[in-house]
Amino acid sequence: MELDKNEMRLFSSIEIPELFISDYMPLLNSDSIKVYLYLLFAQKNNIDTNILDLSKRIGSTVDIVKKSFEKLEQLELIMKKPNGYILKDIREIELYKLYSPKLTSSLEDANNNAEKNKGRLKAISTINNTYFHGTMSPSWFTDIDMMFEKYSFSDEVVIALIHDCYEKGTLNHKYVMAVAQSWHQNKIHNFDDLEKYFMAFEKSNEIKKKIGKKLGFNRNLTQYEEAYVEKWTNEYKYTFDVIDLALRKTTTKSNPNFAYVDKIITDWNEKSLKTVDQIQQYNEEFNKKEKFVKENTNDKKFNGYAKSNFGDLEKFYDNIKIGGD
């Protein structure tokens, strides 16, 4: 007996690769997921469809379906052809990434790589068993391999990165690789580098809280304000005592802002004034010179100029340009 395929659809099923659920689904919204699932259904049952028909079947608009197609194409789940689209095999894509030929230049290189890979395999096994319950998808192997090869991370750094993202509930490809890029930019390669980075991070956060409290903020610092603080602490290497000295100069301002404080601190940095004592000594010498000018100058015009330009450090900083010509 020959049975019509459509009559048995009630009892049929569609296979969805686990890779889609673990790696791709977190990157898609609900409409894109519905579009992809319907495309799998249409492909299995040889059903011709178009964007208008598909929008009606999933209860969405044509524009949303178009955007869903763009997202699926961006993730390489589908590929555009002159007369439509085809669904790509996710497993084939990942297998190609994993098993594409990698040639070794010499026997010595091969031996070195073999020794190096022992540690890497142990790290990958730890990550797989601890954070993925033994079901880590092949695409994660690709990302971890990039951390080793492109970013030169040690085994401990890779494990620490995955652990940090896991604890924050952000264990997805996009976020993990963004963190990896950030750590690479901060010149992290081994565990010592990582410890120094975290210590500097904690120190900077503590200073940010103190600054917000000193300025009477009932909010967190903005991204731009945090960038100023990171410049003062990470680039200029200033402690909170020095920053606090600059903050005190805002008490006479009706509308104090970080740009004004940054002018003061940047000026100190350019003058190589790194401690509170050095800054206070500089201020004392500045005031002595101003006093000397006033007491020893008979020219009223010059004396007026000295008073307006050198007699007040607050005005001196007011006249420093923030940027430009």
- Segment 74-98 mean pLDDT: 77
Choice among 96-110, 205-219, 278-292 with the minimum mean pLDDT: 96-110
Q: Is the dihedral of CA 170, 173, 174, 178 positive or negative?
A: positive
pLDDT of residue 279: 93
Domains of the chain, each with CATH number or no CATH: 12-93 (1.10.10.10), 108-189 (1.10.10), 215-318 (no CATH)
CB neighbour list of residue 294: distance below 8 Å, 6 or more residues apart = 303, 306, 307, 311
Residue 317 has pLDDT above 80, yes or no: no
pLDDT of residue 254: 67
- The mean pLDDT of the chain is 81
Report pTM.
0.48
- Segment 221-243 mean pLDDT: 90
Q: What is the tens place of the pLDDT at every residue in 252-264?
A: 776 768 898 999 9
Burial class (CB in 10 A: 0-12, 13-18, 19+), 79: exposed
Helix/strand/coil for 78: strand
> Which is more confidently placed, 27 or 116?
27
Residue 96 has pLDDT above 90, yes or no: no
Can you tell me the distance from the alpha carbon of 121 to that of 177, in angstroms, rounded to the nearest whole number? 19
Backbone Cα Rg of the chain: 31
* Alpha carbon distances (Å) from 86 to 39, 50, 82, 322: 9, 13, 11, 55
Of 222, 198, 221, 201, give the one whose Cα is nearest residue 211: 221
Length of the chain: 325
Q: What is the tens place of the pLDDT at every residue in 5-17?
A: 444 555 678 888 7
Tokens found for residue 55: 């929008």
Residue 101 has pLDDT above 50, yes or no: no
pLDDT of residue 93: 67
